[in-house]
Structure 1
Amino acid sequence: MPNYNPGLHKLLTLQVAANELLTSTQKFIDFAKQTIQNFNLEIVGISHHTFDQGGYTVAICLKESHICIHTWPEFKQLTLDIYLCNYLNDNSQKVEDLGAVFKDFFKAEVLNETNVRR
């Protein structure tokens, strides 16, 4: 039986100058949906919550795994979790590319970046 390497799991903590992007749940969801479509990934569900202070949590379940975000506008930060797994293809480059697209969207500075090879 061949070895199985499920994929790359990227965890990011980002500093963001524009608070509007940390408080606009729908703007993030709309951008994420378009981005996911551009990467030929398949959404199977989205769950979200906007907090009283304006931050939000969004979990996007993908056929290939997930993208999750948690924002803290009071600290101008967010955490982003991107994981794509596929038993037929190595999606590691897609994870790297998705991370770059989301960093650009938020015009963010990386505070912490961890890559976990599953």
Structure 2
Amino acid sequence: QVWAISFSRFPPNGVSGVVVISESHISTHTWPEYRYGALDIYTCGQDVDPEKAVIYAVDAFGAATSHVTEITRGIDEGDAIFFHSFVTWEEDLKKRKPAKDKKAKKKDKGRAQSGKK
């Protein structure tokens, strides 16, 4: 369920915005003059595949490269207080073929992604 959507344009062509959905949110900031966009995808729950959302976003932006930082946070992994885990990777996407199932990808949520075109 979508709770709120807010986007603003900035000169010359940038966009910043947020979509708040049940147990999650997606925020984006773009700098077309630098061919750069940053996207944060936050999800809660066990039934989501964050990588599918990242792949969808990278394809939608037409990014040639991406730098992904995945942050797992919350009470998990046997830690009685809080558990935080960071994983980072970079990928050259020029040779990767776009995913085929766009309807399924629209339903997915992910964690954190930013990419350069």
TM-score, normalisation: structure 1: 0.57
The 2-side partners of 1:111 and 1:44 are apart by 28
Residue correspondence of structure 1 range 3-18 to structure 2 within 5 A: none
Residue correspondence of structure 1 range 73-88 to structure 2 within 5 A: 73-86=32-45
The 2-side partners of 1:43 and 1:54 are apart by 26
The 2-side partners of 1:110 and 1:82 are apart by 18
Instruction: Specify every segment of 5 or more residues in structure 2 that has no aligned partner in the other structure, as ranges.
Output: 74-117
Matched, 1:96 2:40: no
Give the number of the structure whose residues are more often strand, by fraction.
2
Higher RCO structure (Cα 8 Å, ≥6 apart): 1
The 1-side partners of 2:38 and 2:13 are apart by 15
Give the number of the structure whose residues are more often helix, by fraction.
1
Give the deviation of 1:114 after TM superposition.
Answer: 0.4
Residue correspondence of structure 1 range 33-112 to structure 2 within 5 A: 42-86=1-45, 89-91=46-48, 93=49, 95-112=50-67
Post-superposition Cα deviations, 1:53-107, rounded to whole Å, max 9, x if no partner, equal 1100010011121011100011000000011103xx342x1x2101101111111
The 2-side partners of 1:52 and 1:84 are apart by 30
Q: How large is the Cα RMSD of the aligned pairs?
A: 1.2
**How much identity, in percent, do the aligned residues show?**
34
Instruction: Specify every segment of 5 or more residues in structure 1 that has no aligned partner in the other structure, as ranges.
Output: 1-41
Partner of 1:117: 72
Q: Structure 1 runs of 4+ off > 2 angstroms?
A: none
Select the structure of larger CA radius of gyration.
2
Partner of 1:15: none
Query: For residue 31 of structure 2, what is the amino acid of its counterpart?
Result: W
The 1-side partners of 2:31 and 2:43 are apart by 25
The 1-side partners of 2:66 and 2:60 are apart by 16
